[in-house]
Structure 1
Amino acid sequence: MGPMSAPAVNAQPRMLATAAGEKLNQLKKIDKNKVIYTLGEQMDVAKVEAIAASLGNDSRIEYAEPDYIMTIQQTHPNDPRYAEQWSYHSNDEITGGMNLPDAWSITQGSQDVVVAVVDTGIRYHEDLMDNIVPGYDFISDEFVANDGDGRDDNPLDSGDFTRQGECGYSSGQPVPSRDETSSWHGTHVAGTIAAVSNNGIGVAGVAWKSKILPVRVLGRCGGYTSDIVEGMRWAAGLHVDGVPANKNPAQVVNLSLGGEAPCSRVYQEAIEDITEKGTTVVVAAGNEGVRITSRNAAPANCSGVITVAANNKSGERSYYSNYGDYVDVAAPGGETKVKKYDYWSGTYTWQKRPEGGILSTLNAGQSYPGSDNYDYYQGTSMATPHVAGLVALMYAVNPKIEPSTVRSILKSTARQTDCDECGAGVVDAYEAVKKAKLYY
């Protein structure tokens, strides 16, 4: 309450009680003309505001107002497995997280912001369905597609399981070297970006109020560059012959994919056309544990993309992550296994540590689709959707921001950790969103 005239400061409690209609007890003075009073009992805010208004109407009191309680402005989803999503946090124990709760106090995304997941397609997981817009299947090869047809408007992932040697041979060795189960890779990526949150189930997405556009380009043994490029173009709202127009053009394209190749002209032209339209392309650095060159990691080595390395919980570069001058930033990709020294044998061995990976939506089917579930994965494929989701948050607060500016903000706000040769460092969601909001 204050400022008050000197007589009011020293007024008898009886006078104040009459003005307030309640008993008041002086607690403290905060300067010579301002006094804090307490009420005799707990009351709801509306009643306290009414008492303050009554006091303010007294001619002896210049003004009176409640001493409101302020709290930390952080958003914490109620999803039961959110506590396992270490990658969203940043503190003394988790130096490799991306500081999301503070960013969520500014925005949790926007339904007007669409992120294209150009990947294996998607399963209609209960923790994703409400955030999915109609997509497309761009796989043209029947074997790769594994769904009995060619291109169509069904982006559902039918499974990418392969048998030993089914993808050919490399240096005389079968590819894959053993039978592999379906990855449901696109579903995992999509969950990190925009899993439905505050729904009391599963996990939270980085930009949970944004939308996912599933674009299927990968299947058994991977996918052809020609299909990927057309999927990218369509995702951004560009014309593709023989394919209906995309009614939900993406502001962000997530490419958790790549290959040991130079950046082809068809990739580079697509990226230039997409970014010129105002869409940001976010790309995985790759998982070979090598320095990226102009010859070995497309499309991470293309110009105009945001290339993302992976870091672990401690902020170090994940052991598998590619690195070097082509990398712009790092983000949590996790490590589901760690090297431990065996004193008895004097050697290092790998030990499983699934909780060190990235938890997201998945499917339980080994080959063909099964029930919904969740699991931990590791990879630059997991790091990339953290950044794509962050870019979606940036677009939510500043829809007109240019891809080049997005890249610049991500780099200028990144934190320096022990992530060696990881570009500008580990992304900081709060600082990036705050800077994007203020950018003109």
Structure 2
Amino acid sequence: MRIKQRQPYWLLLFLFSCVGYAEERLLVKTQELLRIKHIERCGDFFSQAQQEFCVSTTGKLSSQQLKIRVGEKLLATREIKHDGDLLRITLANNKYQSGPLWLEQGEQKSNEVWLSMKGSHVIAANKSEVAKNGDGLITYVDLISVIIEENADGLQTARELAKKYDAKIVGAIPPLNTYQLRLPVRNLIERDALVLRIGTEIGVDAVIIEESGAEKEIESEILRNNPAHADSLDKGEWASNRFLDAVDFYLRRIPAKTQLIKTAPIKIGVIERDVDFDSPDFADYVGDCRRDKKRICLYARDAEKPESHGSTVAGIFAATWNNGGNSGFLRGLDKAGPGFDVIVDRNSDAGITANIAASVNLVEDGVRVLNWSWGIHRVGAKNVDGKDIDSLVRSGLAMSGYEELLEEFFLWLRLKHPDVIVINSAGNGASFSGLDEYRLPSSFVTEQLLVVGGHELSNKKDARVTDADYAVKRGASNIDKRVDITAAACVHSSVLVINSEGEKHCGTSYATPLVAGLVAAMLSINPTLEPEQIRILLRRSAMTIGEEADFEPTDADDLTSPILPSERNNELNHPDIGRSARLDMHKALDLTVQSLKRVR
């Protein structure tokens, strides 16, 4: 989303410097820029002394000039092995902690990626290791994951299973007692027979079948064929959530001399593949990002295209302002912010299992807010019109395994990390977000999961931003009472050339980081807030959208859980009661500041 407004003098100077920096990088055409394209665990996953990481790069590497840094530490030559564009890095567990990794070679610096030493990792199947199942979906042939009962020794049980079935342990999510096995099978008939046998073993809670392959761009719609709505984007979709008002409030209120607020740094985990650091939106994040303690930092693998899903989602958090393309909410808070960390990671391309592995690592690395702009529907799920949903679907067998894995994840969060909140997209199937036979993970009912639907600007010209009809539900957005709040679903993607216009993308994927970025800002003001308190503040501050629901059973007008009297100071006759909730970023920050008085 391109934001245009008058900026303070200091901000203009900063933005012009960013523009110059980005232009300089875009002029480099004779050689590939130094970039980290991928990083993944390799070698012995179960070594207690050290961990090995394989790093693929672009740009010509020189073993004499290359320097690799993890956090503030410079890696020794003996810790690095060169194999063409692939680097093998071996780190001792007692010497290194999780942190940013980047490359330096002469004047060149790479993007930073987040290197986690926490050890959860699963591998993806290659093209020869997948097949189509009876539902016509791509599924892994010989890779499965096994969830071990919580009272059992997970690794020992997995080793016993591997020995009994002539399998091999190739991945693990130890905090969830989940281990990935490579089975000695050649086709799906043999796989399913072994899955049935393994599933009945003592100590086995569930078996996860991974269905993952080439997919449509996850949870998004590109508006090439909807010019009428594309025009409305330039009027400011984010105005419906008071985006600029929230940025202005944070910049003025946090450093106020009379009542200075001390902020806390917050880590945000974004489960996405990569970000294009050749885009002006992200070009100034290369090298050591933490050169300014107040500055937001972005850690991600490098993408091929600026309009990628990951770049667009990450841009809503972190994109540089006024370069064209996106304008990141947390980036707008830099001068008053505590130094937010936005970590983009998906572990590997092993589908939902990899998403959870990445999430576990990130939480153990201190992430307070997880952005899940993803979700899946069960085969046979219907939309609100009774028609089949044909995108992001999985078989019933796969869904049952995923449901068990997600249940283990949220039970672990509740037990070990009760302060972490997951922000999840409601989905774009025009379906029901709260029924587990239709949708995961948004159907889970837990205080640590907040579900976000999507809206777009209405055509009502004289509506005020606070009016319920200022915005309307996007036709594709999933609905029902499990949805906590709606936010603007449409945004411009990042671009390669400064001041050019990015493609228009819409989907609940892009509503979700608006909420997640706001929640991170709220926690930076009051880090003692618990997930349920965050939900309460978001709902109390929310504007309305849609028709009055009157607490009737779910139908097409129930966009979110209806606003309750307790969310309006117990005023039974308040006009908002029974309506659906629309994000108000400014008021949510204001209520967060007010919550500090109760803490003190």
- TM-score range (shorter-chain normalised) is 0.5 to 0.7
Question: Aligned residue for 1:421?
Answer: 558
Match of 1:279 in 2: 420
Mapped to 1, the partners of 2:267 and 2:496 lie a distance apart of: 23
Residue of structure 1 in register with 2:250 after alignment: 107
- Structure-2 change in CA distance of 1:287 and 1:406 (3 Å): same
Residue 214 of structure 1: CA displacement?
A: 0.9
- For 2:370, the equivalent position in structure 1 comes to 253
Aligned to 1:174: none
Out of 87, 93, 97, the residue aligned to residue 237 of structure 2 is 87
Q: Any residues of structure 2 matched to 1:399-410 within 5 Å, and which?
A: 399-410=527-538
How far apart, in 2, do the equivalents of 1:332 and 1:123 lie? 23
Residue correspondence of structure 1 range 289-300 to structure 2 within 5 A: 289-292=430-433, 293-300=435-442
Q: Deviations over 1:227-271 (max 9, x none)?
A: 1101111122x2xxxxxxx4xx32211111110146612113323
1:156 corresponding residue in structure 2: 302
Correspondence list, 1:204-219, <5 A: 204-208=327-331, 209=334, 210-217=340-347
Q: Which residue of 2 aligns with 1:32?
A: none
User: 1:79-135: CA deviations, max 9, x gaps?
Assistant: 79xx9471321xxxxxxx10122222332597822221101222223323556899x
Which amino acid is 1:430 matched to? H
CA deviations on 1:353-387 (whole Å, 9 max, x unpaired) are xxxxx1132569xxxxxxx9832201011111111
More deviation in 104-113 or 116-125?
104-113
Provide structure 2 residue ranges, at least 5 long, that are not aligned to the other structure. Answer: 1-5, 17-232, 255-262, 289-298, 335-339, 379-398, 459-470, 548-556, 561-579
Is the 2:280–2:323 contact (alpha carbons within 8 Å) kept by the matching residues of 1?
A: no
The residue aligned with 1:359 is 492
Match of 2:241 in 1: 98
In the other structure, the counterpart of 2:593 is 437
Count matched residues.
276
**Cα distance, 1:309 vs. partner?**
0.5
What amino acid is the match of 1:408? Answer: I
What corresponds to 1:126 in structure 2? 280
**Structure 2 CA distance for partners of 1:374 and 1:250, relative to 1, 3 Å:** farther
Secondary structure of the residue aligned to 1:107 is helix
Q: How far has the Cα of 1:216 moved from its partner? A: 2.4
* Structure 2 SS opposite 1:213: strand
Partner Cα distance (2:457, 2:593) in 1: 28
- Residue 401 of structure 1 and its aligned partner are, at CA, apart by 1.3
Q: Is the 8 A contact 1:75 1:102 kept in 2?
A: no
Q: 1:409 to 1:289 in 2, by over 3 A?
A: same
Q: Which amino acid aligns with 1:230?
A: A
Q: Tell me the CA shift for residue 217 of structure 1.
A: 5.0
| Residue aligning to 1:227 | 354
Cα distance in 2 for partners of 1:106, 1:395 equals 15
Equivalent residue, structure 1, for 2:479: 323
Give 1:200 deviation, angstroms.
5.5
Match in the other structure for 2:316:
192
| Separation in 2, partners of 1:133, 1:121 | 17
| Cα distance between partner residues in 2 of 1:267 and 1:130 | 36
Equivalent residues in 2 for 1:126-145 (5 A)?
126-130=280-284
Give per-residue Cα distances to partners, 1:390-436, cap 9 Å, x unaligned. 11221121122111211121122111122742224110001111111
Matched residue of 1:121: which SS?
coil
SS of the residue corresponding to residue 281 of structure 1 reads: strand
Deviations 1:14-71 (A, max 9, x none): xxxxxxxxxxxxxxxxxxxxxxxxxxxxxxxxxxxxxxxxxxxxxxxxxxxxxxxxxx
Amino acid at match of 1:103: A
Structure 1, unpaired ranges of 5+: 1-73, 90-96, 135-152, 160-181, 239-245, 335-357, 365-371
Q: Partner amino acid for 1:360?
A: S
* From 323, 326, 340, the counterpart of 1:203: 326
2:443 maps to 301
Judge conservation of contact 2:480–2:558 (CA < 8 Å) in 1: yes
User: Residue 257 of structure 1 contacts residue 283 of structure 1 at CA under 8 Å; is this kept in 2?
Assistant: yes
Matching residue's letter, 2:530:
E
Query: Is the Cα–Cα contact under 8 Å of residues 346 and 358 in structure 2 kept in the other structure?
Result: yes
Residues 217 and 228, structure 1, Cα contact 8 Å, conserved in 2: yes
> d(CA) in 2 for partners of 1:233 and 1:118?
11
For the residues of structure 2 that align with 1:133 and 1:281, how far apart are their CA atoms? 29
For 1:85 and 1:232, the matched residues in 2 are separated by 36
Alignment RMSD (CA, Å): 3.4
Is 1:389 the equivalent of 2:517? yes
- Identify, as 1 or 2, the structure richer in strand: 2
Alignment CA distance shift 1:158-1:232 (3 Å): farther
Aligned partners of 1:130 and 1:278: how far apart in 2?
32
Distance of 1:281 and 1:298 partners within structure 2 = 13
Secondary structure of 1:231's aligned partner:
helix
Letter in 1 for 2:404: R
Amino acid in structure 1 at the alignment position of 2:438: N
Distance 2:594 2:541 in 1: 13
* CA 132–256 in structure 1, closer or farther in 2 if over 3 Å, else same: farther
2:256 counterpart of 1:117: no
User: The residue matched to 1:311 in structure 2 has which SS?
Assistant: strand
Residue 350 (structure 1) aligns with:
none
Shift of 1:289: 0.5
Q: How does 1:167-182 map to 2 (within 5 A)?
A: none
SS at match of 2:245: helix
Q: Which protein shows a greater Rg? A: 1
Per the alignment, in what secondary structure is the counterpart of residue 442 of structure 2?
Answer: coil
C-alpha displacement at 1:318, in angstroms? 0.1
Structure 2: distance between partners of 1:154 and 1:435: 32
Question: Contact 2:267/2:369 (CA < 8 Å) preserved in 1?
Answer: yes
Q: Secondary structure at the match of 2:494?
A: strand
Instruction: Say if 1:131 and 1:195, in contact at 8 Å, map to a contact too.
Output: no
